[in-house]
């Protein structure tokens, strides 16, 4: 699936670079272009991808300091400038646009909904948001920002693929090391998903194409991505159980949004050498996925990849609210209430009908 990436804020810029680097190193050529946009000049300087500084008249290149309302205002004012900067990047080859943002920071959480809305107004291809939820340890302002941003960004984007920072961070890592690990894991998982359907060495029996990714995300709202891999036998017949176990692990323990199992649609991609992929194993895994997700629309296929391992990607579209996501929303509501004690019923921001309609 050929896409253009737009990274917003510090987290969005770093992840966009990680995705672009992984795609280049693997030779997938799924990412056609990438641009990082920020209000903080210092956060753009370490990046190797193209960058754009916005809001200089408001914050002088120093960022918005976690103020996502200011981030939204700046993006609204700079929308034309950003769209001009994308001119020539989003060509007829692009099959989708991904706005990549940490939903806890000010520029990303405030700017992502605004930019997604503007992009949908201009372009005919789907506009998705790859949104990072802050971990429990990242402070109350990040929780509140993400709770508010999630409601609006999921409404404006064609679908919002959520990554919970707590899902993949190891307990023995520092915060900085944790973010680096998470970015690498997201780059691998999302990179493989985007590469599905691209021209690579090897011929699969039932190769996934980009339309299956797009159709899986068609329900809108919240999406999640699961992943698992394991050493594979050279004999495909010996990999039946391996494939079914990989699908189970990808959904139940390796997902970007823990406990998000029920969904409207699902896509199962088995990556590896075609001769190692068991058709019986794939069909069993798809059947199990149908039962587990409750979806009547489960797609599947191969992704030929030169590796002695097999990997399973499980993309869920239109996921139901999970216990993990509900716990996050509760934290966000509490953080928002603490910051706005004088406001009447502030927690209603996270309990209204707009948010309920996303699930």
H-helix or E-strand spanning residue 248: helix 240-252
* Averaged pLDDT for residues 225-248: 97
For the chain, give every residue range classified as CATH 3.40.50.1440. 3-195+322-356
DSSP codes, 294-346: --S-EEEEEEE---SEEEEEEEEEEEPPPHHHHHHHHHHHHHHHHHTTTSSSG
- C-alpha to C-alpha distances, 306 to 4, 45, 273, nearest whole angstrom: 26, 35, 5
Report the residue count for the chain.
Answer: 359
pLDDT band at 321; cut points 50, 70, 90: confident
**What is the rounded CA–CA span in Å between residue 325 and residue 311?**
26
Q: Is the pTM for the entire model greater than 0.95?
A: no
Q: What gap in Å lies between CA 213 and CA 190, rounded to an integer? A: 11
Half-sphere exposure of 335 (CA within 13 A, CB side): 21
8 A C-beta contact, residue 64 and residue 8: no
Q: Which one is predicted more confidently, 203 or 168?
A: 168
- Contact assessment for residue 302 and residue 269, using Cβ atoms and an 8 Å cutoff: yes
What is the pLDDT at residue 182?
Answer: 87
Distance CA 218, CA 265 (A): 9
What secondary structure does DSSP assign to 68-91, as a single string? HHHHHHHHHHHHHHHHHHHTTTS-
Q: Environment class of residue 269 by beta-carbon count within 10 Å: exposed (0-12), middle (13-18) or buried (19+)?
A: buried
Tally of CB atoms within 10 A around 238: 13
What mean pLDDT do residues 2-6 have?
97
Q: Is the pLDDT of residue 341 over 80?
A: no
pLDDT digits (tens, 9 = 90+) for 324-338: 788 888 888 888 787
pLDDT exceeds cutoff 60 at 319: yes
Closest CA to 85 of 191, 4, 198: 4
Question: Residues 84, 119: contact at Cβ < 8 Å?
Answer: no
**How much is the average pLDDT of 138-164?**
91
| Mean pLDDT computed over every residue of the chain | 89
- Structure confidence at residue 138 as a pLDDT band (50, 70, 90): confident
CA distance 149 to 352: 14
What is the per-residue pLDDT for 351?
45
Tell me the pLDDT band of 173, cut-offs 50, 70 and 90.
low
CATH number of 3-195+322-356: 3.40.50.1440
278-294 confidence digits (pLDDT tens): 999 999 999 999 999 99
pLDDT per position as a tens digit, 296-308 = 999 999 999 999 9
Q: Residue 266 phi/psi, 5° resolution?
A: -150, 155
Confidence of residue 169 (pLDDT cuts 50, 70, 90): low
Name the superfamily (CATH) of residues 223-319.
Answer: Tubulin/FtsZ, C-terminal domain (3.30.1330.20)
Each residue's pLDDT tens digit, 40-65 = 999 999 999 999 999 999 999 999 99
Instruction: Sort 215 into a burial class: Cβ within 10 Å, 0-12 / 13-18 / 19+.
Output: middle
For the chain, residues classed under CATH 3.30.1330.20 are: 223-319
Give the pLDDT of residue 327.
82
């Amino acid at each position: 699936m050929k896409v253009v990436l737009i990274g917003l804020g510090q987290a969005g810029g770093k992840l966009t670079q990680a995705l672009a680097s992984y795609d280049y190193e693997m030779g997938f050529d799924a990412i056609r272009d990438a641009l990082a946009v920020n209000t903080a000049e210092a956060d753009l300087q370490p990046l190797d991808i193209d960058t754009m500084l916005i809001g200089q008249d408001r914050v002088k290149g120093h960022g918005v300091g976690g103020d996502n309302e200011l981030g939204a205002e700046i993006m609204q004012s700079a929308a034309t400038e950003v769209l001009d900067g994308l001119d020539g990047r989003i060509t007829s080859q692009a099959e989708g646009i991904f706005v990549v943002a940490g939903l806890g920071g000010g520029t990303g959480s405030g700017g992502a909904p605004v930019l997604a809305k503007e992009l949908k107004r201009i372009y005919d291809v789907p506009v998705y948001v790859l949104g990072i939820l802050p971990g429990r340890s990242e402070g109350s302002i990040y929780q509140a920002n993400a709770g508010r941003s999630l409601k609006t960004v999921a409404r404006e984007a064609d679908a919002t693929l959520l990554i919970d920072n707590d899902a993949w961070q190891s307990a023995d890592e520092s915060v900085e090391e944790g973010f680096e690990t998470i970015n690498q894991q997201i780059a691998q998982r999302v990179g493989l998903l985007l590469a599905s359907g691209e021209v690579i060495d090897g011929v699969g029996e039932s190769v996934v194409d980009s339309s299956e990714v797009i159709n899986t995300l068609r329900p809108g709202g919240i999406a999640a991505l699961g992943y698992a891999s394991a050493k594979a036998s050279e004999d495909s017949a010996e990999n039946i159980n391996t494939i079914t176990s990989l699908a189970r692990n990808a959904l139940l323990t390796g997902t970007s949004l823990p406990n998000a199992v029920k969904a409207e649609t699902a896509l199962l991609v088995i990556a590896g050498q075609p001769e190692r992929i068991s058709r019986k194993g794939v069909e069993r895994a798809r059947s199990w996925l149908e039962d587990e997700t409750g979806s009547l629309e489960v797609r599947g296929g191969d992704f030929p990849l030169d590796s002695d391992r097999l990997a399973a990607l499980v993309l869920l579209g239109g996921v139901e609210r999970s216990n993990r996501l509900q716990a996050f929303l509760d934290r966000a509501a509490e953080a928002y209430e603490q910051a706005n004690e004088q406001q009447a019923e502030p927690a209603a921001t996270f309990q209204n009908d707009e948010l309920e309609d996303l699930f």
